[in-house]
Amino acid sequence: MDRSIFKAYDIRGTYPDQLDEEAAYRIGLAFATSGLISGDPVVVGRDMRKSSDALFSALARGLTDGGKNVVDIGRVTTPMLYFAVNVLNGAGGVMITASHNPARYNGFKLVREQGIPISATTGLAEIENRALECAAPTGKKGSVRQESVEDRYVEFFRQRFSISRDRKTIIDTGNGMVGAILPRVLATQDIPYNGLFFTPDGDFPNHEANPLKEENLEDLRREVRANPGSVGAAFDGDGDRVAFIDEDGNLVRGDLLTALIASHLLDTRGPGTIIYDLRSSRVVPEIIEAHGGRPIKTRVGHSFIKALMRKEKALFAGELSFH
């Protein structure tokens, strides 16, 4: 088993040379027996990558050999996995994805109850050690059942948002998982849009689902310029990252998006705490303060930012990397 697949915030490597079914089984068993999660079930989702189904089967076998019951929510985005852990009262969760990485990669994002991330400093290192040692099965066998959260996820957006706009948005989901759920979400709103590459395909036949790379935005820019007055949005493979381009095809910086969204929320919901990462422009805290907010600068990494959000009861947080 290749130790290099264990990163600071997740588990990730190329399939099958670095990350294969044996590694997935060991990781599932290690997670189930680690003591990091108490009770049942463990909610597991996966993306559309070609290796995701095989890795799911092996991971689920490890989790159930470790005594945990598993709820299989099928192919979903990473935000849907976090949502499912909460609505299904999960003791923990695993998202099988390599996020914005190329097709040959896959991996796991692990969370505790309420979708609390597990990083190297909060339990991932322990899972790594247990997986390398190959923890023993508990003797108590868990089960696997399937349950969809798609309808509840769409209803969540319908109840909380009412958006009406005239300007068209061009949306590129890069053949990632967002394309499977976004039409249903947008159907609850009054948002005209054109969709690019909405069909999930783990081979990423048009371009990588990584909006951090300029070359992956060229199709979106072309479509925006062909529709004067429109703006563009590009998602990554698992849907937890989105970048925007303006009507001229210019990429809007992630830290400026944080300031823009924060200013809207502060204006509509009142004073609150906004968290931004340390790489952001100095204009970000200035804008937050100008709109009555309390800016807090934090280190990079979603697990650290989410922990700080809980501690400070933050209204919103954003990263330069479009998270």
Active site residues: 99
Please state, in angstroms and rounded to a whole number, the distance separating the CA atoms of residues 102 and 210. 8
Q: Tell me the CB-side half-sphere exposure of residue 292, using CA atoms within 13 A.
A: 10
C-alpha–C-alpha distance, residues 184 and 5, integer Å: 35
Residues pairing with 96 in the sheet: 46, 108
Token pair listed for 19: 């990350």
Helix or strand or coil: residue 87?
A: helix
Ordered DSSP codes for 235-282: E-TTSS-EEEE-TTSPEEPHHHHHHHHHHHHHHHH-S-EEEEETTS-T
- Token pair, residue 235, equals 């998602």
CA 280 to chain CA centroid, Å, is 21
